[in-house]
Amino acid sequence: MHTKDYYKILELAPSATAYDIKKAYRRLALLYHPDKNPNSFAESHFKELQEAYAVLSHANKRKAYDEERWLSGMSKHVRDQQLITPQWILRECTKLSRHMSTVDTYRMSHTALHDYIFLLLSDSHMAVLQQYSDADTNALIVKELLRATKALHLPYMTAVTQRLVVLAGTDNELLLAIHKHQQERMYRDTWDRYLPLVIIIITLLLCWMMYLYAK
């Protein structure tokens, strides 16, 4: 999972204001404009500047990007980690759970969240967890990831569920919690799919009732 650093491209800190972003873009766009720098490198960089500005200057796009950037940064942290232990995996899952509680789930990147969880529950990490066979730690990991994936779309959640079931082992209470979580995601997925149709039907009924009332 690789996310471009738009702040770095615009030579800004992540705390930059909308004014800072606009000012930086104007300065750099003028500096790297293809008309003033007739070479492919300048043109390529100019396109990156435009791409970065298009995202960071738009409040909703910036919020979604910041979320994906956070997950991408955490992914690098996981890949660079040398000593993997069940306790370390649990700490990372707890960080993710706490972070997701502050995220606008309607605008988050489901792909980024899925990829990050699969980094935490990679084959090698699962092997470590099974080798240590610490039921209490595994249970806590499952609970933290269930909290972190409350809004994860069903297609992404299904693959995650399979690994959570493995970690749950023979803990019937935990297996029931996983099953319930999956059922809730299925219900929500169905509701999201048919919501536009429900809205259309209600709108047509209201129009029909208004028409009858007008007569």
Find the range with the poorest average confidence among 37-41, 177-181, 203-207. 37-41
Q: pLDDT for 184-208, tens place per residue? A: 888 877 766 766 777 888 888 888 8
Name the nearest CA neighbour of 131 among 165, 163, 167. Answer: 167
Find the range with the poorest average confidence among 97-111, 150-164, 191-205. 191-205
- For residues 96 and 118, the answer to whether their CB atoms sit within 8 Å is no
Average pLDDT of the segment spanning 68-81: 81
Cα–Cα distances (Å) from 18 to 15, 23, 35, 65, 108, in that order, read 10, 9, 27, 15, 21
Gap between the Cα atoms of 188 and 56, Å rounded: 31
Output the furthest CA–CA distance in the chain (Å, rounded): 76
- For residues 116 and 71, the answer to whether their CB atoms sit within 8 Å is yes
Share of residues in the chain with pLDDT > 90 (%): 44
Q: pLDDT for 4-35, tens place per residue? A: 889 988 988 899 999 999 999 999 898 888 88
Gap between the Cα atoms of 197 and 64, Å rounded: 27
The CATH number assigned to the domain with range 1-57 reads: 1.10.287.110
Residue 138 has pLDDT above 90, yes or no: yes
What's the DSSP call for residue 1?
Answer: -
**What is the pLDDT at residue 58?**
95
Q: How many CA atoms lie within 13 A of 69 on its CB side?
A: 15
Q: pLDDT for 56-74, tens place per residue? A: 999 999 998 988 888 888 7
- For residues 37 and 101, the answer to whether their CB atoms sit within 8 Å is no
**What is the pLDDT at residue 41?**
67
**What is the pLDDT at residue 215?**
64
Gap between the Cα atoms of 56 and 134, Å rounded: 44
Residue 108 has pLDDT above 90, yes or no: no
- For residues 174 and 139, the answer to whether their CB atoms sit within 8 Å is yes
Q: Name the pTM for this structure.
A: 0.69
**What is the pLDDT at residue 20?**
95
Residue 43 has pLDDT above 70, yes or no: yes
What do you get for the CA distance between the two ends of the chain, in Å? 60
CATH 1.10.287.110 in the chain, residues? 1-57
Residue labelled with tokens 């809205």: 199
**What is the pLDDT at residue 31?**
85
